[in-house]
Amino acid sequence: MKIMVIGGGGREHAIIKKLKQSPGVDIIYALPGNGGIAQDAICVDIGANNISLIVEFANNTSIDFAVVAPDDPLVLGCVDELEKAGIPCFGPNKNAAIIEGSKVFSKNLMKKYGIPTASYEVFTDMIKALDYLDNAPIPTVIKADGLALGKGVIIATTREKAKDAVRSMMEDKVFGESGSTVVIEEFLEGPEVSVLSFTDGKTVVPMVSSMDHKRAHDNDEGLNTGGMGTIAPNPYYTNAIAAECMEKIYIPTMNAMNAEERTFKGCLYFGLMLTSKGPKVIEYNCRFGDPETQVVLPLLESDLVDIMFATRNGTLVDTEVKFSSDAACCVIMASKGYPEKYEKGFEISLPSPEPEDTEIYVAGAKLENGKLLTNGGRVLGVTAKADTLKSAIDKAYKAVNLVHIKNAFYRKDIGQKALKAFEKDV
């Protein structure tokens, strides 16, 4: 079988390494992939948003199955176009990807179907938004409606900062048209949990839970990033909370999408906050998370290709989705300066072979004259598995010490908050 994976980050590398373990897979293409992914797939220089070229390539290469991983091509309708050309896909259709593509859509969906989330107001008129902020509870959260490279959420701790955020989105258009409409919502507090799930629109199967570390520096200091590391499972996500989420969030969301004639097939990501009033949805994503995938997929024991086909064919209920009881930790190594300005082109040296129970997932790198060079903010992720979280963290950092990248940095405290939570036996 020939499989094509759209995207070129660490998440896509983790998907590709897992797909390679399926006996039915002969060739994997990555569009565009990256210099590290080139070890595991044939990289084709077609951008993830270039849907017409993607369809043309799939036709010319007789692709049997496509995995569309990033948000942009999903929201743009890549799956619809590939399916029109007769190529089955993993990923939601455009009309379902809107669950991530528009915050107004997802908030209204949750309100209509009684799914717990922060209370909110929607504004298309800046003056009304500014007036509203005169009396809104502080802190407050301002969100651009559309996709904004993960940067469209501002937590404002003063009224003035909230107003500045609204002005920058609605007047200065820092996120382009994504910010023409804004959501202003209640500030929630509690531990955050990421739960990725497989769904075919009839069954929803949550994967092992995980915890992201979004801030750039130790102790959750510095700017928000795409994610500096992850651990799985998340100790705050107890069996009782999982059962509550299934009943109040996962199944109601799947049913709500069906009722709206927007059946969701693929990976539905629930970003949750465990508040004192119960779990609430912070955000939905229409895809695997990055870097959550880098700790979740290494723990998957079942065949990923079978599961992906089942999400398309509506046979998930009959398909095995089994996770190991081990723990995993992923540490992201990033270019100095990320998420702001950083330089590229530094040499990357990787341990060969990879240490036991360790995987290196390359995100921002290119091959030049046989050398792997940095080519992005997040350069790579080092994931290790072990029977306890503590051992997984230790193994991951040992492997990080074997990776040499000039001008890179990484957080030294990935998983520490989770370890403390385990100690308290939450």
What distance in Å separates the CA atoms of residue 190 and residue 187, rounded to the nearest whole number? 10
The interface with ligand AMP within residues 269-288 (CB under 6 A) comprises 282-283
311 token code pair: 């999400």
User: Amino acid identity, residue 409?
Assistant: F
Looking up tokens 């903010």 gives 377
Write each residue from 199 to 228 as x if it is in contact with ligand AMP (CB under 6 A), else as -, in one continuous string.
---------------x--------------
Q: At what angle do helices 94-101 and 103-113 cross, to 10 degrees?
A: 90
| Residue 188, binding choice from ligand GLY, ligand AMP, none, Cβ under 5 to 8 Å by partner class | ligand AMP
* CB 363, CB 408: distance < 8 Å: no
292 binds ligand GLY (CB under 6 A): yes
- Shortest CB 49 distance to ligand AMP, Å: 20
- Shortest CB 323 distance to ligand AMP, Å: 23
Region near ligand GLY per CB under 6 A, out of 285-293, 321-329, 340-348, 382-390:
285-293
What distance in Å separates the CA atoms of residue 354 and residue 13, rounded to the nearest whole number? 15
* CB 248, CB 52: distance < 8 Å: no
User: Amino acid identity, residue 242?
Assistant: A
Region near ligand AMP per CB under 6 A, out of 8-16, 76-84, 181-189, 355-363:
181-189
In the complex with ligand AMP, the residue whose CB is nearer, 37 or 286, is 286
In the complex with ligand AMP, the residue whose CB is nearer, 216 or 307, is 216
| Residue 260, binding choice from ligand GLY, ligand AMP, none, Cβ under 5 to 8 Å by partner class | none
In the complex with ligand AMP, the residue whose CB is nearer, 282 or 327, is 282
- Shortest CB 194 distance to ligand AMP, Å: 9
212 binds ligand GLY (CB under 6 A): yes
In the complex with ligand AMP, the residue whose CB is nearer, 170 or 183, is 183
User: Shortest CA distance to 390 belongs to which of 173, 158, 231, 217?
Assistant: 231
Q: How many amino acids of this chain bind ligand GLY (CB under 6 A)?
A: 7
> Which of 290, 303, 326, 357 touches ligand GLY by CB under 6 A?
290
Element (H or E) spanning 327, and its range? strand 327-335
What distance in Å separates the CA atoms of residue 206 and residue 199, rounded to the nearest whole number? 9
What distance in Å separates the CA atoms of residue 160 and residue 165, rounded to the nearest whole number? 9
153 binds ligand AMP (CB under 6 A): yes
Q: What DSSP string runs through 174-197?
A: TTGGGGSSEEEEE---S-EEEEEE
| Residue 187, binding choice from ligand AMP, ligand GLY, none, Cβ under 5 to 8 Å by partner class | ligand AMP
285 binds ligand GLY (CB under 6 A): yes
- Shortest CB 120 distance to ligand AMP, Å: 8
> Which of 38, 155, 246, 426 touches ligand AMP by CB under 6 A?
155
Phi, psi of 215 (to 5 degrees): -75, 155
- Shortest CB 310 distance to ligand AMP, Å: 28
In the complex with ligand GLY, the residue whose CB is nearer, 200 or 292, is 292
Burial of 139 (0-12, 13-18, 19+ CB in 10 A): middle
Eight-state DSSP code of residue 246: I
| Residue 118, binding choice from ligand AMP, ligand GLY, none, Cβ under 5 to 8 Å by partner class | ligand AMP
Checking DSSP bridges between strand 211-212 and strand 229-232, what pairing results, if any?
antiparallel
> Which of 118, 228, 373, 408 touches ligand AMP by CB under 6 A?
118
Label residues 39-59 b or e (16+ Cβ within 10 Å = b).
bbbebeebebebbeebbebbe
Phi, psi of 290 (to 5 degrees): -130, 115
In the complex with ligand GLY, the residue whose CB is nearer, 152 or 179, is 152
Looking up tokens 């210099």 gives 35
* Interface contacts to ligand AMP, rule CB under 6 A: 118, 141, 150, 153, 155, 185-188, 192, 214, 282-283
* Interface contacts to ligand GLY, rule CB under 6 A: 150, 212, 227, 285, 289-290, 292
